Amino acid sequence: MSLPTVVIVGRPNVGKSTLFNRIIGHQVAIVEDQPGVTRDRKEMEAEWTGHHFLLVDTGGWLPGGSDLDEKVSRQVEAAVQLADVVLFLVDGSVGLTEDDESVAHWLRRLKAPVLLVTNKADNDRRENDRWEFLALGLGEPLPVSALHGRRAGDLLDEVVRLLPEGAAEQQSDIPVSADGDQLWNPNDVAPPRVAIVGRPNVGKSTLFNRLVGEDRSVVHDMAGTTRDAIDTLVDTPDGPIVFVDTAGMRRRSRIDDSAEYYSMVRALRAIDGADIALLVIDATEGITSQDQRLAERVDASGCPIVVMLNKWELIEDAEKRLEVLAELKRKLYFVGDSPILKISALTGKGVHKLRPVLQDAIEQYHRRVPTRDVNRVISDAQQRQPAGHGVKVMYALQGATDPPTFTLFVNRELPHTYLRYLERSIREAFEFGSTPIKLRVRKRSE
Ligand code: GDP
Ligand code: GDP
């Protein structure tokens, strides 16, 4: 998972590298009192209140490449295109210049979330220098003094607030073995976590043993997230998979999870740490109200669901089979497009169909759509059907995966129905299928 990127832009000599150093905390960039001296793009990982991001100093640059070679300009443009947040730095002590205006013009067209920062506000009085920059139409300027560190904390608070949510937290999603060793290289994608849930006696243990028993080798027992939970890491031809909270499924003499209440608690705990849930239902009993309650809770957690209609071989009558499927559609309507597999965990019939379904669901869950494509889909959707009343999404990006989470930067509050429309457009354009996707809306001060 890559870090969110914060890019500092501005005409030469406004204090970009000073600010860069201030945020990073060491002197890495060379600061010289001469325009355009710091030309190299510098990138360093920065941290503020537990949020990590990549800070990029674009050096001395002007749009149009007036006094710098094109290569530098292109590099800066590329950096800004990839930015999650742009810090547009101006020099409050000098006041608004034409160069600031042309940078602003370029940034406005880009529609990225831009934080206008007036530097060299070394004292209270100098803070007032900022008002003139309101004319740039990029919202209220934030005054800082990069040199003295004045209000740098406020600036960073604001930066962190604008970062795509969840982007930083994903870094620590690496399983750790009992002795604290990382089981996977941090650069690897953590293996997907699968929870098998369902009320007692539907066939969870039978299914689990069937899944891990055959050609696959169990690699590790891992301490789960709670004390009596055991996760099982299984090597499959599709790569490793972790089955979450398998304590009750591994042993013959099982811990007593026959109480329905307890099985619910256990299921909810398991899905909490899972990327996908296999909801096992005993087809011979139809869809009980407890199946329904459990499904509702799993669905509400945002965990994608695969419905496993188990003991299917016991229902021989074709009409009865259709009845069960109709009941499923009616009572579990909210799981929508979730795949439904008719299986017999006991005989193994139909279980093989799970693998491609699982693989696809997991792929979608981890998928990242390029910002360019997100914006294309959103702008097409807006063209087909505008929100009306001048409400607009100015810019959009996928801020996080697991599940795919999209951030929409809007000029004003979007109507709820319109949000659903945009969600549908994204889902259809990128074929997310049953994978849950989330939309976050950010209002851009204009
Ligand atoms: P850059 O070209 O945008 O990277 O600008 P620099 O970081 O090289 O800064 C240009 C000049 O402005 C240097 O002389 C800095 O010492 C000075 N400078 C930077 N930040 C501040 C500040 O907050 N207050 C004052 N008074 N000077 C600053
Ligand atoms: P759990 O409580 O959900 O873990 O359920 P178990 O895996 O212990 O299964 C409960 C009972 O259902 C056991 O007697 C299993 O043999 C039986 N069972 C599980 N899957 C199937 C199946 O596909 N067909 C039939 N006929 N019985 C099954």
- Give 101 Cα–ligand 1 centroid separation in angstroms: 19
Identify whether the C-beta of residue 6 lies closer than 8 Å to the C-beta of residue 53: yes
Which ligand is in closest contact with the Cα of 252?
Answer: 2
Q: How far is the CA of 312 from the centre of ligand 2 (A)?
A: 11
Pick the most confident of 228-232, 253-257, 330-334.
Answer: 330-334
For ligand 1, the distance from its centroid to the CA atom of residue 147, given in whole angstroms, is 7
**Is 60 exceeded by the pLDDT of residue 174?**
no
- How many CB atoms within 10 Å of residue 46? 18
Q: Are 109 and 80 in contact (CB under 8 A)?
A: no
Segment 249-261 mean pLDDT: 54
7 CA → ligand 1 middle, Å: 17
The counts of H helices and E strands in the chain are 13, 16
Q: Amino acid letter at 289?
A: S
Average pLDDT of span 220-238: 62
Digit-coded pLDDT (tens) for 34-85: 444 444 447 777 878 778 888 888 765 555 545 444 555 666 677 787 788 9
Residue to mutate, 201, 258, 280, ligand 2, most ligand atoms under 8 Å from C-beta? 201
Report the C-alpha gap between 385 and 428 in whole angstroms: 15
What is the position in ligand 2's atom list of the atom closest to the CA of 249? 4
Evaluate if residue 421 carries a pLDDT over 50. yes
Q: What pLDDT is recorded for position 430?
A: 92
Please name which of 364, 423, 371 lies closest in space to residue 398, comparing C-alpha atoms: 371
Nearest atom, ligand 2, residue 313 CA: 24
Q: What is the DSSP string of 5-33?
A: EEEEE-STTSSHHHHHHHHHSS--S---S
CA distance 314 to 312: 5
Query: Which residues lie closer than 8 Å to 303 by C-beta, 6 or more apart?
Result: 195, 271, 274, 275, 276, 277, 436
| Closest by CA position to 157, among listed 142, 177, 139, 175 | 142
Distance (Å) from CA 16 to ligand 1 centroid: 7
d(CA 315, CA 331): 19
Q: What is the predicted pLDDT for the residue at 222? A: 54
pLDDT for position 218: 52
Nearest CA to ligand 2 atom 25: 311
Q: Whose alpha carbon is nearest atom 26 of ligand 2?
A: 311
Ligand 1: centre distance to CA 140 (Å): 21
Q: Which residues contact 403 (CB under 8 A, 6 or more apart)?
A: 302, 304, 365, 435, 436, 437, 438
Q: Tell me the CA–centroid distance for residue 284 and ligand 2, in Å.
A: 11
Q: How confident is the model at residue 129 (pLDDT cuts 50, 70, 90)?
A: confident
Protein residue with least CA distance to atom 13, ligand 1: 33
Predicted local distance difference test score (pLDDT) of residue 405: 84
- Is the pTM here over 0.75, yes or no? no
Q: How confident is the model at residue 111 (pLDDT cuts 50, 70, 90)?
A: low
Instruction: Give the pLDDT confidence score for residue 299 in this predicted structure.
Output: 82
The DSSP 8-state label assigned to residue 229 in this structure reads -
Q: Which residues line ligand 2 (CB under 6 A)?
A: 198, 200-206, 310-311, 313-314, 344-346
Q: Looking at residue 150, what is its pLDDT?
A: 87
- For residue 343, give the ligand 2 atom closest to its CA: 23
Phi, psi dihedral angles at 322 (to 5 degrees): -65, -35
| Of residues 119 and 213, more confidently modeled | 119
Q: Which ligand has the shortest distance to the CA of 311?
A: 2
Q: How far is the CA of 279 from the centre of ligand 1 (A)?
A: 59
At residue 308 the predicted structure's pLDDT band, cuts being 50, 70 and 90, is: very high
Give the model's pLDDT for residue 368. 85
Ligand 1 binding pocket mutation candidate from 8, 9, 13 (most atoms within 8 A of CB): 13
Pairing of strands 230-236, 239-244: antiparallel
pLDDT band of residue 426 (cuts 50, 70, 90) is very high
By DSSP bridging, strand 393-400 and strand 405-410 are antiparallel
Q: What is the pLDDT of residues 340-399, one digit of tens each?
A: 999 999 999 999 898 888 878 777 877 888 888 999 999 999 999 999 888 999 888 887
Between residues 24 and 19, the one the model is more confident about? 19
pLDDT band at 172 (very low <50, low <70, confident <90, very high): very low
